[in-house]
Amino acid sequence: MATDSWIRRITLLMAGPMTMMAGVACAPAANGPAQDVHAPVAAAREPIAAASPRAPSLFARPWSWIDEDGQPVTFARWRGRPLVVAAMFTQCKATCPRTLAKLRRVYDDFQHAGRDAQFLVVTLDPANDTPRALSRFKSSSGLPDAWHLLSGNPADTRDLRDLLGIHVIDDGPHLLHDGRIVIFDGDGRAARAFEGWGLEKEVRL
């Protein structure tokens, strides 16, 4: 019966609005909780397409985050610059490594093209991913210094993951989620996204 319940939960996630599952990430959610992608990243070589003016702006959200240095920040701090936003948590062993690998490729392409953008990574597990934990993770994982690792309160974290289109099932000791990277234009409106198992599928929003 436990196996049947587990299969049903995975099936529900795979049949969600995104109709995709970027991997299964397991961590103790109650305690708070790679495949390389070789497809070219067009986002760094083309201008960020202007999003629909009716799309909600990231900067209009009343969210407040804490970065890995323990400093409070809001997304409006980076108004006027493209923002590349992803979500992960430090104990994830499946979806998040793929997400970060793809994010590195996007970052490298932006760098090679000489294009300016801010890269923000928000934890899905703020109860455990404290600023200190995020700082250790950033260092041990060799993430670029220019990236900002952020944690927030549970409500803001849920709002952000909904805005990014990341679907999560909290199954007691396990946290199942799919992966998505969203590129926002300088007005804070979603313009492009990478999704799919290896986040190799690029879509315009």
Distance CA 85, CA 9 (A): 27
CA 166 to each of CA 154, 161, 205: distance values in angstroms, whole numbers, following the listed order: 15, 5, 15
Q: What was the pLDDT predicted at 15?
A: 41
Domains in the chain, number: 1
Task: Enter the tokens of residue 30.
Answer: 């109650």
Distance CA 45, CA 93 (A): 31
CA 53 to each of CA 185, 190, 202, 205: distance values in angstroms, whole numbers, following the listed order: 11, 10, 21, 12
191: domain range?
2-48+55-204
H or E element: which one contains 21? none
CATH of the domain at 120: 3.40.30.10
Per-residue tens of pLDDT for the chain, all 205 residues: 444 443 344 344 434 433 333 344 444 443 443 333 333 444 444 545 545 556 678 999 999 999 999 999 999 999 999 999 999 999 888 889 999 999 999 999 999 999 999 999 999 999 999 999 999 999 999 999 999 999 999 999 999 999 999 987 776 656 778 899 999 999 999 999 999 888 888 888 7
* Residue the block writes with tokens 């260092």: 139
Tell me which amino acid residue 94 is.
Answer: A
